Amino acid sequence: MEPSGTIVVGGGIVGLAIAHALAHRGQRVTVVEGKQIGERAAAGVAAGMLAPSSEADLTDPRLTHLALASHEAYPAWTATLERESGVETGYDATGTLLVALHRDHLALIEHLEAFQRERGLHAERLTGRQAREEEPYLAPGIAGALRMPDAQVDPRHLLRALTVALERAGAVLLEGTQVTAVAPGVDGGYAVATEREGVASTLHATQVVVAAGAWSRQIASPIAGLPLLPLPLRPVKGQILRLRGERLVRHVVRTPDVYIVPRADGELVVGASMEEQGFDERPTAGGVYDLLREARRVLPGIAELELTECGVGFRPALRDHLPAIGNVDGAGLFVASGHFRNGVELAPITAWLLADLMCDGRLDALLEPFSPGRFIAKDVAR
């Protein structure tokens, strides 16, 4: 069969964002998702913090540059999605308060403030009293805070907005369809083997993007016994809580041990654990306890809220904790995975720059450090 169009493997935030960017460039796009769209995506349980400022000192500077570019793109991107879909994304630029619970934490605040200013990033130092004037429900006796111009989005709303926008753009969304293998097609392009409810079939495409998050390694190559993408990719389990009740804070509130993200509808998201437990889907009593303990230290009133959900997600992590974004085989096979804790934050810039590469052959300098070639020999996949 003559191949045509592009197949995106994976219906999470990154995969849908790539599909949306390609559809905007006039490409015929099919998204193939093994479950329901967004069901097993890390973004489905994520808090949705867009925090290149407050996390700048914690990451590789190359990743910080990519995150800042994505952060700048977010307002226009979400506005476009809301216009195309009619779905609110929950984008909110109120900002982040990084709170020092005691004097030992002040050194971290001072270090991050200096780091931000050296790089031209905005940060405002607050005393404990000033922080409590901004957020009266913060714990008495906090030592200080740093306010940064971060933002947030509701990933579940964002998934819905992307889905509706893609459907209205004419993209094909195949849910409950597992991709089992990708191989060179007889007539060029790629043959994508799928299975749905026990029935096997083959799709054909000129280009394929693997954006299946922590599951990206589970797709087989034409070489028996080998994964299509021999990336050192692993799932990192994260437990996250959702609570509901009186709105206690306006800002995203962070300490070195926990983050608390308020939603406009009264929901409060608390996260997140970092566990090397494979694909263990169980919320645990210990995980819930640890998160609530740390959240209560900075926001005591959280103890009175209703606990409505204990969720688990799997961050796709590579050895260096940087994403792999780019071409795999020198032809039409691409990957966008390994975003670790930054999938929601990096979605628009990943999508736009990868679409530029796929459609125009233009590799932006921002993407060069994230080439999958740092892990994959050129002759492995083809």
pLDDT of the residue at 244: 98
pLDDT of the residue at 282: 95
Among 10-19, 115-124, 306-315, 373-382, the minimum mean pLDDT is found in 373-382
Q: CA nearest 39: which of 19, 18, 10, 17?
A: 10
* Distance between CA atoms of residues 270 and 146, nearest Å: 19
Q: pLDDT tens across 95-125, in order?
A: 999 999 998 889 888 888 888 888 777 899 9
Average pLDDT of the chain, as a whole number: 92
pTM score over 0.75: yes
Section 190-199 average pLDDT: 95
pLDDT at 28 over 60: yes
Q: pLDDT tens across 198-224, in order?
A: 999 999 999 999 999 999 988 877 766
**Domain 94-150+234-317, what architecture?**
2-Layer Sandwich (3.30)
244 phi and psi angles, rounded to 5 deg: -145, 145
pLDDT of the residue at 323: 97
Section 269-288 average pLDDT: 96
Of the candidate CATH numbers 3.40.50.720, 3.40.50.300, 3.50.50.60, 1.10.3720.10, the domain formed by 6-47+157-232+319-374 belongs to 3.50.50.60
CATH 3.30.9.10 maps onto the chain at 94-150+234-317
pLDDT of the residue at 381: 42
Which residues fall within 8 angstroms of residue 171, CB to CB, at 6 or more apart?
19, 20, 23, 29, 30, 31
Q: pLDDT tens across 139-172, in order?
A: 999 999 999 999 999 999 999 999 999 999 999 9
Q: CA nearest 209: which of 4, 10, 2?
A: 10
* Distance between CA atoms of residues 298 and 105, nearest Å: 13
CATH 3.50.50.60 maps onto the chain at 6-47+157-232+319-374
* Distance between CA atoms of residues 113 and 215, nearest Å: 37
pLDDT at 82 over 80: yes
Q: Is the link from the previous residue into 272 a cis peptide, with omega within 30 of 0?
A: yes
Section 259-279 average pLDDT: 95
Band (pLDDT 50/70/90 cuts) for residue 382 is very low
Band (pLDDT 50/70/90 cuts) for residue 56 is low
pLDDT at 61 over 80: yes
